[in-house]
């Protein structure tokens, strides 16, 4: 790796700086260059240039052109920065080389740090910032929901965002916009406004209610991969609207014998188009925890157009026309819950003569003996209503079109509506010329449509495709008197230049409210933030501190926790890994959702309860539901599918993210664990030291190769490292993943590492042979011997706390700012890191400190 090679070159034979030399921390630029020429460069020429010079560049590193001058083109911030990190971490010199003595260590670290500080000051704000970025898909969806007051997925047609090099989706440099996207945004805005603002009379409402299941034969074919349906309760919906919101309400209770966990109820909506299959889609699934004395009421909502509907032509030979609501009863483990003596919507075949009298029918249970209660779900009633409106006109319509003077002209009413709407949409006051232009558009549209509402919908759609809505825009303060004529701050506008350094422009109160709200809520500012911004009070430290804490306590901060966790820990990688059923036939893909929820939940617990972020490295608790706890084999497990804090014991081996299934599964190939992927994840996500990508000509490890197939994965990696092209990088990578060898590809603990070889009986298949004991022993690059995942976590807590702190601060700052960090941010990041460590790694306090910093409040 480039950083490791440079470190070796830097410290293998550096002489001590003379006591009468200038202190590097206060030395001038020329004095630092002189120190380099007199001390560092001769060492490089003597020991390193032969392998890293003009004729040969081992590891793609050339040192004879490496410059210490921050003003030169040959200066490399990343190389010097990595050098400083590796020296501080004790990874260089390598264990087999002579170590630096205390004086050498201090002098070298001080010189490099001073040079990097000089580079940071020189580059600070000089490169400009991404100060106008598009809303992400999820930010757009949340903003439309809160602006229009509707629960409607407006972002599903939008293309996904590419991740930045740091893994974030909200990085302005990656959020592009095409003409096709603008058309998509306009179509989405029109669809949403048709839901939010209604016209005409209230449409016909279809209501159905039942206390007993409808009975009729349903298709059971398995042809074409269809999964037969077998609901315990069915509601027939013969007539229905093609679009609009629906509401399904179910009153039910459970009978739970002692020793059993709570059963579940699953509701789906679909139709019977023929005799082959029943197309349907899940509406929702809940635990039934109430008893017969107080049944619980479950309410599901959705939109009709999102569910399979029959065509206009009826098939004729089916039991149910129209649509059907299907309700399944499941035990705590997800198995169908039914009995032979009960009537269901489509009862299974009766047991044949060869079956025992009390044997369960297919997909059923035997009835309990004697007076023992049967484990069951009992439905009292099911109601279905569509389209569903809380009132008519809907609350969204009344709020958007509210006007105190009913006698006003349409033009005056439109002006009032547009002024209020545009202020919220643009997240700032609307200037008179902006408003006038939009009112003129309404006036031009009105004669072409039949109603005031239709004209207003089209006018509001134009607001929703404005850059002032689709983008987070930060403007030049010098032209603040006319917002509509301001331009986004460009690279050359982003600073106020003074002699010797660059000064940042500060955010306005409204810009601060917007940046803060999209950071913690992923949506537009609420009325409280906008009021404080309008009064010019939001920047006051005490006021801003109180608002950050208020926002973190609000349920909307779940957006911050979930999005930050997903992108920091790359939780969406779970979707990219297909678990091989040949290796893990009992794995339920729903566990992937639970694994993601675990890591999100742990981060949420840390933020909400002001816990130390070190709990991410190791802890005696986690967040799990019954299914995940059962998968892990935890000593204690919840009784329901709800996620809750679960105490861990040493034997559970789960504390910290390195024991989370989300990490272990996502960094596998779905068949076997992948120590290299796991190692790279640790170095990148936890230690902010991502390895360089492999050279294009270097082949990947081929575990199916004949000479490797009979070896354990650790042994295969040892062979891989013996190859010249792989050794230099993998020597610093592989040791971090090997201590996790006891965790298999789906995150389960194992004592042995199975080996699979070619199966001679079945061409193209593999067979498992006798498995050796899993070997998790590893020696890290700094010479530390690690024998298990527990020891690795302890090592991180003891030896890598400072590095972990910097990783947390940099990830949080990059996410909050919506851009990649650069050398100019280094002093601010370092100050935040020091404060973070001093406050016992409290993530909640770090959020407060970050928002209050110049880094967050500057353009």
- C-alpha to C-alpha distance for 548 and 58, rounded to whole angstroms: 50
Report the DSSP beta bridge partners of residue 757: 767
Does 798 have pLDDT greater than 80? yes
Q: Domains of the chain (ranges plus CATH)?
A: 2-127 (no CATH), 129-202+393-484 (no CATH), 206-386 (2.60.120), 503-554+825-859 (no CATH), 568-691+699-799 (no CATH)
Q: Which SS3 state, helix, strand or coil, does residue 371 take?
A: coil
Q: Which range (14-28, 354-368, 415-429) has the least confidence?
A: 14-28
Structure tokens, 240: 């229905």
pLDDT digit string, tens, across residues 252-283: 999 999 888 999 999 999 999 887 889 999 99
Does 562 have pLDDT greater than 90? yes
Does 697 have pLDDT greater than 70? no
Q: Which SS3 state, helix, strand or coil, does residue 745 take?
A: coil
Q: Residue 171: in which H helix or E strand, if any?
A: none
- C-alpha to C-alpha distance for 165 and 162, rounded to whole angstroms: 10
- C-alpha to C-alpha distance for 610 and 310, rounded to whole angstroms: 52
- C-alpha to C-alpha distance for 579 and 528, rounded to whole angstroms: 47
∠ Cα 255 259 260 (to 5°): 45
Q: How confident is the model at residue 513 (pLDDT cuts 50, 70, 90)?
A: very high
- How does DSSP classify residue 717? H
Which residue, among 825, 677, 648, 602, has the nearest Cα to 749 in the 3D structure?
A: 648
Under a CB-based contact definition with an 8 Å cutoff, are residues 317 and 306 in contact?
Answer: no
Q: Give the CB-side neighbour count of residue 61, counting CA atoms within 13 A.
A: 27
pLDDT digit string, tens, across residues 304-359: 999 999 988 776 677 898 999 999 999 998 888 888 777 788 755 555 555 555 44
- C-alpha to C-alpha distance for 175 and 658, rounded to whole angstroms: 31
Q: How many CB atoms lie within 10 A of CB 715?
A: 15
- C-alpha to C-alpha distance for 47 and 570, rounded to whole angstroms: 41
Helices (H), 575-621: 590-608
Q: How confident is the model at residue 481 (pLDDT cuts 50, 70, 90)?
A: very low
- How does DSSP classify residue 712? -
CA 415 to chain centre: 40
Q: Which range (357-361, 593-597, 700-704) has the least confidence?
A: 357-361
- Residue 15 has what pLDDT? 34
69 vs 806, which has greater pLDDT?
806
458 vs 716, which has greater pLDDT?
458
C-alpha pair distances (Å), 486 with each of 431, 464, 482, 493: 11, 19, 7, 12
Q: How confident is the model at residue 240 (pLDDT cuts 50, 70, 90)?
A: very high
- C-alpha to C-alpha distance for 813 and 847, rounded to whole angstroms: 9
Average pLDDT over residues 455-476: 93
Under a CB-based contact definition with an 8 Å cutoff, are residues 329 and 232 in contact?
Answer: yes
């Amino acid at each position: 790796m480039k950083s490791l090679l440079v470190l070796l070159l830097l410290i293998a034979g550096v002489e001590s700086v003379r006591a009468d030399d200038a202190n590097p921390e206060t030395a001038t630029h020329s004095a630092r260059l002189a120190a380099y020429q007199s001390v560092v460069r001769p060492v490089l020429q003597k020991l390193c240039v032969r392998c890293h010079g003009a004729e040969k560049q081992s590891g793609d590193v050339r040192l004879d052109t490496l410059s210490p001058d921050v003003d030169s083109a040959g200066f490399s911030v990343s190389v010097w920065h990595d050098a400083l990190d590796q020296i501080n971490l004790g990874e260089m010199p390598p264990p087999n080389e002579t170590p630096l003595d205390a004086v050498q260590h201090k002098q070298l670290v001080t010189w490099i740090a001073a040079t990097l500080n000089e580079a940071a000051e020189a580059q600070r704000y000089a490169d400009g910032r991404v100060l106008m970025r598009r809303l992400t898909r999820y930010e757009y969806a949340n903003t439309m929901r809160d602006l229009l007051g509707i629960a409607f997925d407006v972002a599903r047609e939008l293309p996904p965002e590419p991740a930045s090099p740091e893994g974030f989706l909200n990085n302005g440099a990656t959020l592009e916009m095409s003409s096709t996207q603008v058309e998509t945004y306009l179509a989405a805005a029109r669809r949403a406004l048709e839901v939010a603002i209604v016209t005409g009379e209230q449409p016909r409402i279809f209501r159905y209610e039942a206390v007993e299941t409808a009975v009729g034969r349903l298709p059971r074919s398995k042809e074409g991969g269809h999964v037969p349906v077998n609901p315990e309760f069915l509601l027939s919906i013969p007539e229905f609207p093609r679009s609009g919101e629906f509401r399904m309400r179910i009153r039910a209770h459970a009978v739970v014998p002692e020793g059993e966990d709570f059963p579940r109820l699953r509701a789906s909506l679909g139709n019977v188009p023929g005799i082959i299959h029943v197309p349907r889609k899940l509406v929702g699934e809940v635990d039934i925890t109430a008893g017969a004395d107080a049944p619980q009421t479950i309410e599901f909502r959705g939109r009709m157009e999102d569910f399979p509907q029959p065509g206009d032509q009826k098939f004729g030979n089916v039991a149910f026309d129209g649509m059907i609501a299907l309700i399944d009863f499941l035990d705590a483990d997800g198995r169908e819950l039914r009995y032979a003596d009960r009537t269901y919507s489509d009862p299974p075949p009766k047991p044949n003569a060869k079956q025992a009298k009390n044997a369960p029918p297919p997909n059923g249970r035997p009835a309990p003996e004697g007076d023992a209660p049967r484990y069951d779900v009992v439905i009292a009633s099911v109601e279905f209503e569509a389209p569903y409106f809380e009132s008519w006109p809907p609350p969204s319509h009344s709020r958007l079109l509210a006007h105190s003077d009913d006698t006003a002209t349409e033009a005056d009413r439109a002006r009032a509506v547009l002024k209020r709407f545009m202020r919220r949409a643009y997240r700032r006051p609307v200037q008179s010329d902006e408003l006038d232009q939009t009112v003129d558009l309404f006036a031009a549209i009105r004669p072409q449509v039949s109603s005031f509402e239709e004209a207003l919908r089209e006018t509001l759609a134009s607001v929703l495709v404005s850059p002032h809505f689709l983008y987070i825009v930060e403007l030049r303060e010098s032209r603040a008197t006319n917002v509509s004529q301001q331009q986004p701050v460009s690279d050359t506008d982003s600073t106020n230049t003074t002699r010797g350094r660059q000064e940042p422009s500060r955010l306005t109160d409204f810009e601060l409210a917007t940046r803060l709200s999209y950071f913690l809520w992923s949506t537009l500012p609420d009325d409280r933030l906008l009021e404080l911004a309008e009064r010019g009070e939001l920047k006051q430290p005490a006021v801003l501190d109180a608002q950050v804490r208020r926002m973190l306590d609000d349920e909307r901060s779940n957006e911050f926790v979930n999005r930050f966790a997903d992108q920091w820990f790359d939780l969406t990688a779970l979707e990219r890994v297909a678990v091989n059923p040949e290796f893990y036939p009992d794995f339920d893909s729903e566990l992937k959702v639970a694994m993601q929820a675990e890591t999100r939940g742990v981060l949420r617990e840390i933020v909400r309860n002001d816990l130390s972020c070190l709990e991410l490295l190791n802890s005696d608790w986690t967040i799990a539901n019954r299914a995940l706890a059962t998968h892990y084999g935890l000593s204690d497990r919840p009784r329901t599918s709800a996620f809750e804090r679960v105490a861990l014991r040493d034997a559970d081996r789960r504390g910290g993210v390195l024991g989370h299934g989300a990490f272990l599964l996502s960094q596998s190939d779905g068949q076997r664990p992948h120590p290299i992927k796991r190692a790279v994840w640790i170095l990148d996500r936890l230690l902010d030291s991502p390895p360089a990508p492999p050279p294009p000509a270097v082949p990947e490890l081929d575990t199916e190769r004949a000479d490797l197939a009979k070896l354990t994965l650790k042994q295969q990696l040892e062979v891989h490292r013996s190859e010249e092209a792989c050794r230099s990088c993998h020597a610093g990578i592989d040791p971090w993943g090997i201590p996790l060898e006891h965790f298999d590809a789906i995150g389960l603990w194992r004592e042995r590492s199975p080996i699979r070889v070619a199966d001679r009986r079945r061409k193209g298949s593999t067979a498992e042979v006798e498995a050796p004991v899993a070997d998790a022993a590893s020696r890290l690059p700094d010479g530390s011997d690690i024998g298990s995942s527990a020891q690795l976590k302890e090592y991180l807590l003891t030896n890598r706390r400072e590095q972990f702190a910097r990783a947390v601060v940099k990830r949080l700052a990059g996410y909050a700012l919506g851009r990649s960090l650069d050398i100019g941010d280094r002093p601010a990041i370092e100050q935040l890191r020091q404060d973070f460590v001093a406050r016992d790694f409290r993530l909640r306090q770090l959020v407060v400190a970050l928002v209050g910093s110049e880094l967050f409040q500057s353009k």
